[in-house]
A and B are shown apart, each in its own frame.
Chain A
Amino acid sequence: MYAVEMSHVTVSYGSHIALDDISFRIEEGTFLAIMGPNGAGKTTLLKTILGMAPLIRGNVRVLGYDAYKDSIKVRNLIGYVPQKESIDATIPVLVKDVVLMGRFSHIGLFRKPSKLDYNKAQEALRLVGLEDLWDEPFVHLSGGQQQRVLIARALARDPKILLLDEPFAQVDFPSQESIARLLYELKEEGITIIIVIHDIDIVLKYIDQIMLLNKKLIAFGTPNEILKSEILSRAYKYGLMYVPSRGVSI
């Protein structure tokens, strides 16, 4: 069984085609990085895995389930870390409120979080190194800390697949390394990690595969196969080359 399997997937917002005829498969326990220029459909691809983007054609299966017909089952298997800009950080919530939100679909309607839910939330916060901030207002945290709380929220769900949309934005260098290392450890435990990223250097030593996207699937393979200037140029439309420790450069 594959973690994610797409065949001939086309996604469109009105007349704007966001993803065009995408087909790929990834094994369970894979660490995949998705790269591509702005507007390439990277976030849309994550939302398609969640069964949230408007599917025009094709088939999306996640751990054997149809992502659109069995969307609630699929979403319960996934931990999703959105781009931080998509959340309203001015809402007066505490860190524990945010992490516990990850448990809500498991708790179900009309019920309060149990002791187990609190334990899972605290454990998730400990994994991202912010256990001391349990009772802090979310708005008081730095951008990087808020990002880590959102990762903890996804981890509190006990996910089989973790989807992360640019999780290193506004995160300082030591935190980037600790988050990348944490993702690798989760992958070692069998969790499939799919990450949208611009600076591939941060996770390069941990990832198994790279997907290069620009509305169409440009390339899909191991880092050694993908990080070549002739392949990168097909996605970014500029003369690009990969310089180790400096990422992708023009």
Chain B
Amino acid sequence: MFYIPLFLMYGLLAAIISSILCSSVGTFIVLRGLSFMGAGVAHAALAGAALALLLNLTDSWSIFALALLFSLPLAFFVAYVGERGLRMDIAVGIMFALNMSLSVLFIGMLKEYTIEAWSLIFGDILGVNAEELILMVISMFIIEIVLLLFYKEFKFIVFDFEGAIASGIHARIVHYIMMFIVALAIVSVLKSVGALLVFALTVAPPFAAYELTHNIDNMLLLSLLLGVISSILGIILAFYINLPASAVIALTATTTAAISMVISPRRRKCCNILAGRVRFFREKRV
């Protein structure tokens, strides 16, 4: 019978859940023009997790709690800046710099657990344990329920934030809820994907989906599908070629995005227009 080692099974499950979490929130952060948000939140989570290791709090729940404690202020600060009509990407940049500095400080002060700290930066998807998997599953349920409940409001605020407020929707509260699930998702995948590569999973599948459809509902579903396929493919490739799994997953996700760009109907339309113009001038010359 075909045998799958337990660590690989856990790794596969972690990869699938990570891609579902990242694609779900990534769709909205890409549409909100906040692609860099994934990296910002991930580095805040890294600072929190590094502090947990420094304080000898090495169990999954403590690392998760401190990572979330550091990520939420960033997410809420970005939401606050956005509702004031200021540029949210600048807020992400400032908080990114602050949290990156804290991460370097905390990791530099570590005398033990340096391997664990490095795994938080680059990810260790094949080292995910049952406790961490349970945490990811709980987060996934919370995020998907929130997404189902507030989906139409999320759609409205990414399209027209002021219009949503003007129509009597509690757009500011909805925006904070959106930022909360972004932070929760990224903190949940920190151990498996790593602070650096989480960026690939929050941006690449949603971007690939954006290139392939003009319908936000389809974009979300496609993003989930492409994210899951990239992750499964990445982890299988990494296992058989013996390469770091997170890096291969990030590579498959970014390759998917590149392929989507090439075959995108948006660009095909541009090409068609261009071809039409060339044909027009050729015929005119004849």
- A-side interface residues toward B, CB under 8 Å? 47, 50, 52, 71-72, 75-76, 78, 80, 82, 86-88, 91-94, 97-98, 101-102, 104-105, 107, 109-110, 112-113, 137, 139-140, 153, 157
Question: Which residue of B153, B164, B216 is within 8 Å of A97 (Cβ)?
Answer: B216
- Report the minimum CB–CB distance from B107 to chain A (whole Å): 38
Given A98-B159, A110-B149, decide whether A80 and B215 contact each other with a Cβ distance below 8 A: no
- Report the minimum CB–CB distance from A201 to chain B (whole Å): 28
Q: Which residues of chain B (169-186) have a CB below 8 Å from chain A?
A: 169-170
Question: Which residue of B31, B33, B159, B210 is within 8 Å of A101 (Cβ)?
Answer: B159
Q: B268 at the A/B interface (Cβ < 8 Å)? A: no
A–B Cβ pairs within 8 angstroms, 28 of them: A47-B166, A50-B166, A52-B165, A78-B166, A80-B163, A80-B167, A82-B160, A82-B163, A82-B166, A87-B160, A91-B31, A91-B216, A92-B31, A92-B213, A92-B215, A94-B215, A98-B159, A101-B156, A101-B159, A101-B163, A101-B164, A101-B167, A102-B167, A104-B164, A105-B167, A109-B149, A109-B153, A137-B215
Q: Which residue of A has the minimal Cβ distance to B173?
A: A109
Q: B150 at the A/B interface (Cβ < 8 Å)? A: yes
Q: Which residues of chain B (30-55) have a CB below 8 Å from chain A?
A: 31, 33
A153 to B163, CA, bound (A): 10
Whether the Cβ atoms of B166 and A93 lie closer than 8 Å is no
Whether the Cβ atoms of A93 and B216 lie closer than 8 Å is yes
- B-side interface residues toward A, CB under 8 Å? 31, 33, 149-150, 152-153, 155-156, 158-160, 162-170, 210, 213-216, 218-219
- Report the minimum CB–CB distance from A134 to chain B (whole Å): 13
Which residues of chain A are within 8 angstroms of B168 by Cβ–Cβ distance?
Answer: 71-72, 75-76, 105
A86 to B165, CA, bound (A): 13
Beyond A72-B170, A80-B163, list 20 extra A-B contacts (CB 8 Å). A47-B166, A72-B168, A75-B165, A86-B160, A87-B163, A88-B33, A92-B31, A92-B215, A93-B155, A93-B159, A97-B155, A97-B159, A101-B164, A102-B167, A104-B152, A104-B153, A104-B156, A109-B153, A153-B163, A157-B167
- Report the minimum CB–CB distance from B209 to chain A (whole Å): 9
A98 to B216, CA, bound (A): 11
A88 to B167, CA, bound (A): 17
Whether the Cβ atoms of B214 and A52 lie closer than 8 Å is no
Question: Which residue of B150, B166, B219 is within 8 Å of A109 (Cβ)?
Answer: B150
- Report the minimum CB–CB distance from A121 to chain B (whole Å): 13
Whether the Cβ atoms of A88 and B166 lie closer than 8 Å is no
A105 to B150, CA, bound (A): 12
Question: Which residue of B166, B170, B216 is within 8 Å of A52 (Cβ)?
Answer: B166
